[in-house]
Structure 1
Amino acid sequence: MPSMTEPKLIAGNANLTLANAIARRMSMHRGMSVGLVDARVERFNDGEIFVEVFENVRGEDMFIIQPVSRPANDNLMELLIIADALRRSSASRTTAVIPYFGYARQDRRTKSRTPISAKLVANMLTEAGIERILTMDLHAAQIQGFFDIPVDNLYAAPIFALDIEHHFKGNLDNVTVVSPDVGGVARARELAQRIGCALAIVDKRREKQGEVAEMTVIGDVKDQTCIIVDDICDTAGTLCKAADVLLENGAAEVHAYTTHGVLSGPAIERVTGSQLKSLVITDTIEAPEAVRTCPNIRIVPTAPIFAQAILNTWNGTSISSLLDIDTLGPIYEGTYAKL
């Protein structure tokens, strides 16, 4: 049964641009104004986070929009404290919309005496009163099992497929999707199947942690437009080196599609000076000015899919339907629809 209350949005400081874009999209869908709940999320002089909600939220279906991006600890604490404030204000249900789930790369013990931080974060979110998680492209799908509450994991692949079909129209026969490592083959294969293209793999061997000693291309990329697909671009070292190796193996040009543009340290400088013709990221992490003005970085929006996912969660309809291009095309207002 659809809820009788309207969905209400509240946001931390991690990505207010995306939060406002989601609110605007929901306003279009609802035919009425949907804004962010009036609240303040600020810090005391010693760095402690304080939250005050200025509107009545008793009995309301609340959605907190807050990626756990840099600074991850601050943004995570904001999310937890907002959730606690809503629980103590008698909200009927609280859903955390976490476009980028920080700590997801710490999903298992890689050595003795190391934590599984993703599980710890899952416990903290649940204990804070969050009853549902909505996220995108979890680094490790098994993290959904860390929660005893529902987790909806959206995928960027259908958005990327629409974008590729739009920007590479007429040249799809010469496109090859490339996984930058063996672990990302499933993600690359899914995108390749969506757009009906060939698949290749860049197999990398490390001498030591953080340093790639050798890369080998598995598959024929000669004269192909190669599209590297990954979920996270952090320092961009592997991505840029993979582009070099593909070109050395005869690729005509190389593009990259990455869901979460962490882009830390030397990443922007590396991408700017690389042989990548373009790097396409989403806006799950708020892009600083240096990213927005980088000539070979392009940002695609996620507000349309998150707005629809929030509405589907609120009225109890399917989330998985948003993984289909035929459903997603109209949501993106024809921008990436098949032409």
Structure 2
Amino acid sequence: MAPMQVYYATQFVLPLPPGHRFPMGKYQLLRDRLAAEVPDVQLMQALPASDGELALAHTLAYIQGIADGTVDPVILREIGFPWSPAMAERARRSVGATIAACRVAFAEGLAANIAGGTHHAMADRGGGFCVFNDAAVATRLMQAEHGRRGRSLRVAIVDLDVHQGNGTARIFRDDPTVFTLSMHGQKNFPFRKESGDLDVDLPDGCGDDEYLEALDTALGDLERRFDPGLVIYLAGADPHEGDRLGRLKLTWDGLEARDRRVFDWAAQRGLPLAFAMAGGYGHRMEDTVQAQVNTFRVAAGYWRHWQNRRR
């Protein structure tokens, strides 16, 4: 069996000022640990998303502003990154990685982006360390590619980052072909939430049992209300109790159980699934990377299950 395809853009590193709170180094650490510890993974360099692909979810003026650095400084402050050519290229590659993972998922059941999950980006602006919305662009592109073959595609975006996917909810607000599920901290960023198809607000300090019960209920609700042909899963590490921005209290076991529920839900229904890492801001960067490595170990087991089913 060929390994599970995992896409990266770690060669593009944002030149952030000293003391910046975004843990840019986590992506290279994750890539290195996957290469060393998860044998069923094949790391692939992501290609950049084109202007046309980005325009499926973003305005042309915003795309151009990010490309050439003329984007409104107010928007840059909302994003939280200084503009640079590397910032613009990395943003395109992060979207390209989720696009590639979605395409591979249809053929192999499961594929991943070691970054992505940039769910705060809206059509005309970014925010919260998110430049372009990778899940939104990939969703629209997969639908377009299916449409060219005379087929429709319904997509479920299961967002388990600790912060609400406000950009994704806004982009798909009036689109019945996309279901947005977000489970997030009620009092956490963004402080002005957007209404998605299913929003689950969690209290500060929420632990394993309460979280997993809420997730079981949410997945059941999703199944009753929507019949997807693709799942995009945002597997944020930031619900972990060691995250400095998360405010929830999931243990390592709780995060693993969360991942198993999502992968199992998709596998039982034969649904292709592409996943992205989304947020993670541990007091120790190594804890964030450990949470992400654990997600990939769980995913590798389900990937093997998919391959065995196809034999």
Shared fold (TM-score greater than 0.5)? no
- TM-score norm. by structure 2 comes to 0.34
Higher helix content, 1 or 2: 2
Which structure is higher in RCO with an 8 Å CA cutoff and minimum separation 6? Answer: 2
Q: Given the two structures, how large is their TM-score scaled by the length of structure 1?
A: 0.32
Structure with the larger strand share:
1
